[in-house]
Amino acid sequence: MPFYLDVLGVECSYGAVKVIDGMAFSIKQGCFAGIIGPNGSGKSTLLRCISRALKPVRGTVLLEGESLYKMSPREAARKMAVVPQETAVNFPFTVEEIIMMGRSPHLGRFQAEGKRDYEITGRSMDLTNTRHLAGRQVTAISGGERQRVIIAKALAQEPELILLDEPTSHLDINQQVEILSLLQRMNREGGLTILAVFHDLNLAAQFCDLMILMQKGKAYRVGKPEDVLTVDSIKEVYGTRVLIKKHPVTGRPAVFLLTRREGEVPGKGRIHVVCGGGAGAAVLGLLAEHGFAVTAGVLNMGDIDWETAKFLELEMTEEAPFSDISDRSYRENMEMIQRADACVLVSIPFGRGNLKNLEAVSRACAWGKPVLLVEEREIGERDFTGGEATLMYNQLKEQGAVVLQGGAEVPEVLAGLLQARL
Amino acid sequence: MEVLKEVCFLNPQRRVWRWRMINAMLFGVLGLAVVVCSTIGPAQISPLDVMVMLVRKLPWVGSMVPPGDWPESHETIIFQMRLARVVLAVLVGAGLASSGVVLQGLLQNPMADPYILGISSGAALGATAAMLFGLGMHTLGVFALPLTAFAGAVATAITVYNVARVGGRTPVSTLILAGIAVGSFLSAVTSYFMITSGQNIHQVVFWLMGGLAGRGWDHVLVLLPYIVAGLAVMLLNVRKLNVMLLGDEPAQHLGVDVERLKQVLLGAATLTAAAAVAVSGVIGFVGLIIPHAVRLVVGPDHRVLLPAATLAGAIFLTAADTLARVAAAPGEIPVGVITALCGGPFFIYLLRKKKEPGF
């Protein structure tokens, strides 16, 4: 099958500044394609170029093999509709009148709107859920409603291709999903080809079949969402570290943002965090963010603390999933505690399987290392050993372990403790 | 819910019918205004006589109506003096209002008026040159003033358009700013001429305020082709003008050749307004207020707005000019003073009344 839209070596400039520099990609008919990229990478300019608002200096765009720039404005408008980021209408047209304007490329100079035009306008209103607004003035409706009206106008054009520039950036999440689901339905059921600029990577990944990641006016990567949205490509193009997971429901890639991490600060100190499950994730992140050298253990593979440590690239003691702490990992954990300047025990529940963690902490106490206990819940509530854990835990307190109510002040308190020891 | 639908949805037939009714009504009012305003003046002539006189001038039906028993002089007063001026007011009012509608739409700016491209300043400079330095007076006679004014106006509009043109496009904001800049410059030149000429500048000031005193059928004939041609071009593009209100790029996406439409409509609106200014001087507010007032009543759709505003402009200026003629008789008030006196407060009223953003 030949491609529907071919962008061939397009170059675009604003004055002397080259904004699009040799962009090339092709999309098939019936494709839902998304353009992503950092601010200033040329996404909107590319879209303006394809929408004929801007003529490329070099290269061309073909629509079904025919140069887009050689078509008459009317001819192009019958095939392609454009939804800008925001539309300001200064004159008090009614919503219906605005949507009816979508019919203008199909009407002759003296031709009045006919029955068919009213039918199509009505259908566009139904699809976009704007029928109840029909008689309202477009100047007096909300931004979200106005965007739906503009999309209805675009649909009334009966286009084969629809171009959208961040169509949902001014909408709340409910409206975002509503609009994009509508477009997805038009795409799947109506065979509408869609090319949209997205600011939100997750929205793009959810809805697009094809993604075009732009960097400095070029296509950095074009392909399926899972091939385009990778930790490395995001790091390369956006210069930021993210976590990419499969969306639990849709299976599409989902991007999680992370706070900026400065890296380990020499001399700040080495901290070992005894955690597990998901109780320690926040403390791990916080300590790493503050520049401590952090180790963790003993962690069962696949749990949240393990994933967090993995992601933060921390050294840790691992144990097989859902397994008790073995002698081998206990020893490994002890070695880490030995190397650390201080030890933190977070609010984990204790059962027979991880009692060895508590043992390890008491050894740290015995060695005279500062020990912090984060006590978000009373030990009694999380003791599943029949009192043994409570006993050991209270001994820690007697041995001089510092108790904190929450994890937030851990870095500060630790810094103070380590300072005092010097 | 059913009732709501009924209210919300425009019935296409009913809408077209409503538009026709509005225009028919305005047309009737204009006819009435022409007759009534022709009767007003020092010589008392009854409206009925005027009507019969007019009907008798019509082809075919005219010969069927018997002449009345009015004195010969009345017919002379009506046809040689008053009617020419009333018709001129109709044409100037129509030209300024239609030009205002088109420019407001084309520039997507509710503050636009026929003079936004600086043509009033250009016309003023041309007219001043004719009045103070006798430019063209020898060769052109009475038409020296309108022709120099017209030339000044058109030259200014062309200059502004070219100044605003950047890389094959004429962005609206640049166009407006260029109009202001060139207009201010030309106004300064005009002022300089007025101050340094050492002549009586009373005539110039009077012209600048705009008026129809002393104009006759000759002026009507000069103006008529421009108004007719200009209006025709504007009326041919009303649907595109509607789409232009969405902005340049959205209009292009709906299949309008925006740059071409700008050239055609700026050309039509400018020529219409320039011709009107050339015969009448700078009459303010008609081209700004009438489009707004009419839009308030009929809505922003140019298919009804343009003809309705054209008729309303004609009615308004006919009435205003009659007032200018008789209010300070035997002297005259420049009609521009009357339009500004009515227009200013009305505009403020519109601004205060408006509760929603936008126009």
Q: Which of A14, A47, A91 to mutate to test the interface with B (most CBs of B within 10 A)?
A: A91
From B321, B92, B115, select the one nearest B227 (Cα to Cα). Answer: B92
A113 interfaces chain B, CB cutoff of 8 Å: yes
Would you say residue B4 has pLDDT above 50? no
B14 interfaces chain A, CB cutoff of 8 Å: no
Over the stretch B113-141, which tens digit does the pLDDT of each residue have?
A: 888 889 999 999 998 888 888 776 677 77
From B197, B199, B185, B178, select the one nearest B124 (Cα to Cα). Answer: B185
CA dist A240 and A220 (Å) reads 16
CATH entry 3.40.50.300 includes domain A5-257: yes
Amino acid type, B90 = V
Residue of chain A nearest B256, judged by CA positions: A73
From B75, B56, B57, select the one nearest B65 (Cα to Cα). Answer: B56
Say what the pLDDT of residue A108 is. Answer: 82
Question: Do A5-257 and A270-420 agree at the fold level?
Answer: yes
Residue A58 CB contacts under 8 Å (≥ 6 apart), including other chains? A9, A10, A11
As assigned by CATH, the class of the A270-420 domain is alpha beta
Mean pLDDT of the B334-341 span: 89
Q: Beta strand pairing status for A58-63 and A66-67? A: antiparallel
Say what the pLDDT of residue B6 is. Answer: 40
Q: Do A118 and B12 touch (CB under 8 A)?
A: yes
Tokens, residue A228: 């385009």
A56 interfaces chain B, CB cutoff of 8 Å: no
The DSSP line for A15-44 is TTEEEEEEEEEEE-TT-EEEEE--TTSSHH
Report residue B303's pLDDT band, with 50, 70 and 90 as the boundaries. very high
Which pLDDT tens digits describe chain A residue by residue (422 residues)? 688 999 999 999 888 888 999 899 999 999 999 999 999 899 999 999 999 988 899 999 999 989 999 999 999 999 999 998 878 787 888 899 999 999 999 988 778 888 899 999 999 999 888 899 988 888 888 888 888 899 999 999 999 999 999 888 878 888 888 889 989 999 998 899 999 999 899 999 999 999 999 999 999 999 999 999 988 899 899 888 888 888 888 888 888 887 656 667 788 889 999 998 888 988 998 898 888 899 998 999 888 899 888 888 889 999 998 889 999 999 999 999 999 999 999 999 999 888 999 999 999 988 889 999 999 888 989 999 988 999 999 999 998 899 998 888 899 898 888 888 76
> Is B181 exposed, middle or buried, given 0-12, 13-18 or 19+ CB atoms closer than 10 A?
middle
Domain coordinates in residue numbering, chain A: 5-257, 270-420
CA dist B312 and B306 (Å) reads 10
From A298, A300, A302, select the one nearest A333 (Cα to Cα). Answer: A298
CA dist A234 and A238 (Å) reads 5
CA dist A141 and A175 (Å) reads 15
> Is B331 exposed, middle or buried, given 0-12, 13-18 or 19+ CB atoms closer than 10 A?
exposed
- Contact present, A4 and A161 (Cβ < 8 Å): yes
Would you say residue B188 has pLDDT above 90? yes
Say what the pLDDT of residue A14 is. Answer: 84
Residue of chain B nearest A104, judged by CA positions: B254
Q: How far is the alpha carbon of A409 from chain B, nearest alpha carbon, in Å?
A: 50
**Peptide bond before A298: cis, by omega within 30 degrees of 0?**
yes
Amino acid type, A148 = R
Q: Do A135 and B8 touch (CB under 8 A)?
A: yes
Q: Which strands make up the sheet holding A293-300, listed edge to edge?
A: A315-319, A293-300, A270-274, A342-345, A371-374, A402-404
Among partner residues A92, A105, A135, which is closest to B254 by beta-carbon distance? Answer: A105
Report residue B12's pLDDT band, with 50, 70 and 90 as the boundaries. low
Say what the pLDDT of residue B358 is. Answer: 46
Q: Do B8 and A102 touch (CB under 8 A)?
A: no
Residue of chain B nearest A107, judged by CA positions: B239
Q: Do B358 and A91 touch (CB under 8 A)?
A: yes
The sign one gets for the Cα dihedral A155, A161, A165, A169 is: positive
Amino acid type, A375 = E
* Backbone phi, psi, residue A26, to 5°: -135, 145
Query: Helix or strand or coil: residue A343?
Result: strand
Say what the pLDDT of residue A27 is. Answer: 93
Contacts of A91 in chain B (CB under 8 A): 105, 110, 245, 295, 300, 358-359
- Contact present, A92 and B358 (Cβ < 8 Å): yes
Give the pTM: 0.78
Q: How far apart are the first and last CA of chain B?
A: 29
CA dist A187 and B289 (Å) reads 47
Would you say residue B154 has pLDDT above 90? yes
Contacts of A72 in chain B (CB under 8 A): 255, 257
A74 interfaces chain B, CB cutoff of 8 Å: yes
Q: What interface predicted TM-score (ipTM) does this complex get?
A: 0.79
CA-to-CA separations, A299 to A120, A237, A274, A314, A349, in angstroms, rounded: 61, 33, 8, 12, 13
Query: Helix or strand or coil: residue B333?
Result: coil
- Contact present, A325 and A317 (Cβ < 8 Å): no
| Cβ count near B284 (within 10 Å) | 21
Of the given ranges (A190-194, B21-25, B64-68, B297-301), which has the lowest mean pLDDT? B64-68
DSSP 8-state code for residue B356: S
| Cβ count near A352 (within 10 Å) | 13
Beta bridge pairs of residue A34: A196, A211
Tokens, residue A258: 């992370």
Would you say residue B359 has pLDDT above 70? no
From A404, A416, A257, select the one nearest A344 (Cα to Cα). Answer: A404
Among partner residues A74, A93, A105, which is closest to B300 by beta-carbon distance? Answer: A93
Helix crossing, B144-164 with B258-280: angle to 10°? 150
Say what the pLDDT of residue B110 is. Answer: 79
A77 interfaces chain B, CB cutoff of 8 Å: yes
- Contact present, B266 and B327 (Cβ < 8 Å): no
Residue B5 CB contacts under 8 Å (≥ 6 apart), including other chains? none
